[in-house]
């Protein structure tokens, strides 16, 4: 549908060129005709030249009007096809059937014309007067993330908080900024308490 609308816009814009040229030339021809009526030439040859100039101008205006009509008809035809494509966007028919409907002759009374009833009768076997539409699949929001593994409180073990829990000396040393091996070295190098000798 986008390509159809693009063609319609291009053809509608192409109408402006002959339309603008015709408007300017028509004003000039009108000015020539008024001057010829006010001041008719004295010689017959000069009068013939002025008449030929007006005849050439009228011929150009006639060709320009036909060109404008042709371009306007194409732009209108593309606009009708775009409207038909918009109406058929929800129809579940194949491409060939849609192209057949898009290319129907436009009569000016309805969008698809009287041939649409016969086409619908052929498609539905005479059981309906409407084009069949495909059923939309229902979307279940509960299964939206079923295929993804998200964070779940049950997927991680719960670690209870114990008020009497004490950290190990290694953890305490790490928190004070002292390496663990220094803690063990200090504890191993402590001198044993001196024992007094028994008196004889």
pLDDT 10s digits, 109-130: 777 776 677 777 666 665 655 5
Which one, of 108, 111, 105, 107, lies nearest residue 85 by Cα? 111
Q: What angle do CA 30, 32, 34 make, to 5 degrees?
A: 70
> What's the Rg (C-alpha) of the chain?
47
pLDDT at 190: 52
d(CA 75, CA 175): 81
At residue 169, the pLDDT reads 55
**Contact of 130 with 120, CB cutoff 8 Å:** yes
20: its two tokens: 């603008």
Give mean pLDDT, residues 19-40. 92
- Whether residue 11 contacts residue 89, with contact meaning beta carbons closer than 8 Å, is answered with no
- Mean pLDDT across 150-175: 51
Q: In the prediction, which pLDDT does 76 show?
A: 85
C-alpha distances out from residue 181 to 126, 146, 158, 173, 175, Å: 93, 49, 32, 9, 14
Mean pLDDT on 46-52: 91
Beta-carbon-side half-sphere exposure of residue 12 (alpha carbons within 13 Å)? 11
pLDDT (tens digit per residue) in 77-113: 888 888 888 877 777 777 777 777 777 777 767 777 7
Given a cut of 60, whether residue 180 has pLDDT beyond it is no
Q: What is the mean pLDDT of the chain?
A: 72
For residue 96, what pLDDT is reported? 79
């Amino acid at each position: 549908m986008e390509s159809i609308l693009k063609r319609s816009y291009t053809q509608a814009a192409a109408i402006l060129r002959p339309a603008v040229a015709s408007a300017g030339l028509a004003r000039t021809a009108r000015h020539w005709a008024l001057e010829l009526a006010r001041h008719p030439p004295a010689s017959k040859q000069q009068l013939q030249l002025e008449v030929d100039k007006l005849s050439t101008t009228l011929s150009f205006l006639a060709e320009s009007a036909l060109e404008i009509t042709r371009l306007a008809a194409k732009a209108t035809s593309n606009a009708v096809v775009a409207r038909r494509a918009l109406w058929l966007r929800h129809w579940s028919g194949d491409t060939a059937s849609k192209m057949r409907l898009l290319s129907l002759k436009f009569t000016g009374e309805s969008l698809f014309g009287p041939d649409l009833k016969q086409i619908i009768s052929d498609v539905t076997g005479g059981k309906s007067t409407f084009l069949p539409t495909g059923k939309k699949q229902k979307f279940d929001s509960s299964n939206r993330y079923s295929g993804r593994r998200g964070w779940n409180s049950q997927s991680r073990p719960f670690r209870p908080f114990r008020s009497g829990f004490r950290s190990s000396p290694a953890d305490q040393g790490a928190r004070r900024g002292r390496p663990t091996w220094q803690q063990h070295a200090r504890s191993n190098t402590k001198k044993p308490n001196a024992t007094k000798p028994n008196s004889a």
